[in-house]
Amino acid sequence: MSASATIVPGELAPKGLSRLRNFRLIPRVDTYPAVVAFAQTVFGKLVLLALFGLGLAYGSTDWLILTLCLALITFLPAQRRILVTISALLFAFIVPWKFFKQPFYSVALIVLVLTLGAVLFWCATLWPRSWYGRRPVFVFLCSFSLLIVIASYTPQGTRAYQLVWDFTNSLSVYIWFICYSLLDQKAAGRDPFSLQLGSYRPFWGSTNTPFAKGAAYLRGIEARNPEQLAVTQLKAIKLLAWSIMLSLFGAVFNYCAYGYLHIPQFSEALYLSANRTPLPWYHCWASILVGFIGSLISFSAFGHRIIACCRMAGFNALRNTYRPLSSRTVAEFFNRYYFYFKELLVDVFFYPFFLKYFKKNHKLRMVGAIFAAACFGNAYYHFARDLTFVQRQGLRGALMSDRVYLFYCVLLAAAISISQLRHRKPAPSGFIRGQLWPSFLVLLFFCLLDVFGFSDRNYPLTEYFRFMGHLFNLNL
């Protein structure tokens, strides 16, 4: 009796735990054979597209045209890649037409940028052994930097000034997409430029960071048969549903934090600190914690929506944000929070350095490559993204006002280096020691680091340190 009485709870506990672990808010419909089979029929495809379109309509103005593009791609899978290119061009020229101040001029600038991308790609392909062909990304980024310098020193108020800046700004939006094309130039089965073009600001959306990387990645993750397409599209619907749920949760979270509890925004807390009327330390903590969690939620929802569209088009892309709270190391969080940005830095800055320099000294090689990516690459990306500051403040002024973000990049690179140099071993057993405590430390680090990551270029670095002091009740 007593033996059985002790065994029963022991047996129940793991079952309960495993049930909890397997619980999903959104059922794993992509693993149900009947649903996968249904999704392969014409009616099933129509149902999926209708559901997806309905989901897109929540929070997207272009949902109808996006759904139409997806419908075409769904029913003509053999022409998928070329349809992706046509859709990308549609979203580059036609969809934003009404928002262009000077439509023909804006279109001409985009055409010029895309033509430049094509010429660079063809030159690298035609002469792979030439000086340019061996390092096309490096040459392109150096030329772009030179263009920024030229634009900065062009006399203001002239026609040339406006022209050079408009072109530089248009090119800045496409540079990382062009870089991915140039990286693909050496691949054996590389796509022609007509297909590369589909990954230049793809129609499913992106920031300046190419979401779902470039054409090479799309080739690798494309659905190869009707079953794979069905599974990928079911995953797309799940991800879109999750994105909507996160958006709703984010809205409630923001209302509770800012509307009900009146927690100050971080920008407000920093402003008060800089004006020598700091908030109490607990308000400062609340402002950075709420800001961090809020941005985590909204950024996840934003990325999920884009990747859901990409999946609906038949590409089984990885999520942009994937369980960042479970990260046990700094490097892991960086990977899980903004996957495609990290991939961009790795592909364009990390590997070129890592494969070329300090091969004999593993630690130096690793640290050098991490600094090339997480510090230099990260800072360069943001500098190239925020060219309006360069135009407004001049090159020197913009570089000076970028110091806070540069400091952020140095701290980030140093932390990732330490994280990577520590000997990798399986996590200690036990939930608290193995998962909770390391995750807490990582999140605390990024929460504090975010203080320097938020840079509106209005305050010097000392003001950020002053704010850090207020967090620990120190009036500096």
Q: Which stretch binds other proteins (CB under 8 A): 73-81, 89-97, 214-222, 239-247?
A: 214-222
236 contacts other proteins (rule: CB under 8 A)? no
Whole-number Å distance between alpha carbons of 280 and 420: 36
- State which residue, 347 or 402, has the beta carbon closest to other proteins: 347
- State which residue, 93 or 322, has the beta carbon closest to other proteins: 322
Phi, psi of 211 (to 5 degrees): -80, 130
- State which residue, 318 or 395, has the beta carbon closest to other proteins: 318
End-to-end distance of the chain based on CA atoms, in angstroms? 68
To other proteins, the closest distance from the beta carbon of 365 in angstroms equals: 9
Residues 74, 45: contact at Cβ < 8 Å? yes
Residues 439, 326: contact at Cβ < 8 Å? yes
To other proteins, the closest distance from the beta carbon of 198 in angstroms equals: 18
Whole-number Å distance between alpha carbons of 70 and 232: 13
318 contacts other proteins (rule: CB under 8 A)? yes
To other proteins, the closest distance from the beta carbon of 216 in angstroms equals: 7
User: Of 216, 240, 309, 310, which lies in the binding site for other proteins, with binding defined by CB under 8 A?
Assistant: 216
Site for other proteins in 420-449 (CB under 8 A): 420, 424-427
- State which residue, 134 or 396, has the beta carbon closest to other proteins: 134
To other proteins, the closest distance from the beta carbon of 351 in angstroms equals: 6
217 contacts other proteins (rule: CB under 8 A)? yes
- State which residue, 218 or 406, has the beta carbon closest to other proteins: 218
Residues 71, 48: contact at Cβ < 8 Å? no
Residues 296, 324: contact at Cβ < 8 Å? yes
To other proteins, the closest distance from the beta carbon of 411 in angstroms equals: 19
Phi-psi region of 473 (alpha: psi -120 to 50; beta: other; left: phi over 0): left
Q: What are the contacts of 222-226 at 24+ separation with CB within 8 A?
A: 222/80, 222/81, 222/314, 222/315, 222/316, 223/77, 223/314, 223/315, 223/316, 226/40, 226/77
Residue matched to tokens 């509106």: 456
Site for other proteins in 326-355 (CB under 8 A): 331-332, 335, 342-343, 346, 350-351, 354-355
Site for other proteins in 173-192 (CB under 8 A): 183, 186-187
Whole-number Å distance between alpha carbons of 86 and 343: 26
Number of residues that bind other proteins (CB under 8 A): 28
- State which residue, 86 or 346, has the beta carbon closest to other proteins: 346
The full DSSP string for 48-99 is HHHHHHHHHHTT-TTHHHHHHHHHHHHH-GGGHHHHHHHHHHIIIIITTGGG
Whole-number Å distance between alpha carbons of 356 and 394: 35
To other proteins, the closest distance from the beta carbon of 364 in angstroms equals: 13
- State which residue, 1 or 188, has the beta carbon closest to other proteins: 188
Query: What would the x/- binding string for other proteins be over residues 86 to 125, using CB under 8 A?
Result: ----------------------------------------
- State which residue, 183 or 409, has the beta carbon closest to other proteins: 183
- State which residue, 359 or 403, has the beta carbon closest to other proteins: 359
Calculate ∠ Cα 288-205-296, nearest 5°. Answer: 15
Q: How far is CA 261 from CA 221, 256, 264, 281, 309, in A?
A: 45, 6, 9, 16, 36
Query: What would the x/- binding string for other proteins be over residues 362 to 401, using CB under 8 A?
Result: x---x-----------------------------------
Q: Pull the structure tokens for residue 320.
A: 């942009």
Q: Which stretch binds other proteins (CB under 8 A): 276-284, 289-297, 385-393, 418-426?
A: 418-426
Site residues for other proteins per CB under 8 A:
183, 186-187, 216-217, 220-221, 318, 322, 331-332, 335, 342-343, 346, 350-351, 354-356, 359, 362, 366, 420, 424-427
